[in-house]
Amino acid sequence: MSAPVTTRPRVLVVEDDEDLRVAVTAELTAAGLRLDTAATLAGASAALAEPGHACVVFDRMLPDGDAIDFVHRRRQAGWAVPVLFLTARDTVHDRIAGFEHGGDDYLVKPFAAAELAARVLALCRRSGTGRPSVLRHGGLEVDCARREVRRDGVLLTVSGKEFAVLEYLMARPEQAVRRAELIEHCWDSSTDPMSNVVDVVVRRLRGKLGEPDAVQTVRGVGYRMAP
């Protein structure tokens, strides 16, 4: 009996610097990925007209615009493919804007090629989990594609980081999630795992979700969705 054929994840790289585009393409191909490329947002739109991408890597500033606006518009229309922004813009404001406009990861230039490959592979695995686009738990509803949160039918306003934490917990409703795990998946690699950023975001999130508490503290571990 012949072995089953494994389809390699397909990734789109949108980068207008030809030398960098070639280097990134070579690194990701060596990591076992199939690559499509584009140099503009118009080219990305044409490439994405054909479905099947597991991840898209966008340079932020392209000849025809800022990629975060392009991604934000698509997120509002229900597009759910994981996105990594690759950029020289490295301020905290820039990184927050990337996440709040629909990015899943943000890597600042210059970067290690191996780190880029690891991050892209992680996003490809996330896109292949078969997770439903809408997560529900009790009266809570998280629309992953539209990035909207509702409780008992009421639309709530949450930040990008609050959404990321809630989405991660909602995808694991019976599981106690460690703070370090939330930092690994919802923050960038520069975040100190010993900081209290998770507790701060969860406290704000609880205030917005209202009573009864939807997020339960698991002493000595982290958090989980309340039964």
- Which pLDDT tens digit goes with each residue over 16-58? 999 999 999 988 888 888 899 999 999 999 999 887 888 999 9
> Tell me, what's the pLDDT at 191?
59
What's the average model confidence in pLDDT over 83-92?
86
- Which pLDDT tens digit goes with each residue over 90-116? 788 888 888 888 898 988 888 888 888
Whole-number average pLDDT of the chain: 84
Q: How far is CA 151 from the centre of its chain?
A: 23
For the chain, the C-alpha Rg in angstroms (whole number) is 18
Give 63's pLDDT tier (boundaries 50, 70, 90). very high
What's the average model confidence in pLDDT over 52-69?
92
> Tell me, what's the pLDDT at 128?
55
Q: Helix, strand, coil proportions of the chain in percent (round to 5)?
A: 40, 25, 40
**All CATH 3.40.50.2300 domain ranges in the chain, comma separated:** 10-127
What's the average model confidence in pLDDT over 56-68?
93
Higher-confidence position of 9 and 120:
120
Asked if residues 179 and 170 have their Cβ atoms less than 8 Å apart, the reply is no
**All CATH 1.10.10.10 domain ranges in the chain, comma separated:** 134-225
- Which pLDDT tens digit goes with each residue over 137-154? 888 998 876 778 999 999
CATH topology of domain 134-225: Arc Repressor Mutant, subunit A (1.10.10)
CATH of 10-127, one of 3.30.450.20, 3.40.1350.10, 3.40.50.2300, 2.40.50.100: 3.40.50.2300
* pLDDT for 1 beyond 50: no
Report how far residue 91's alpha carbon sits from residue 119's, in angstroms, rounded to the nearest whole number: 20
> Tell me, what's the pLDDT at 14?
96
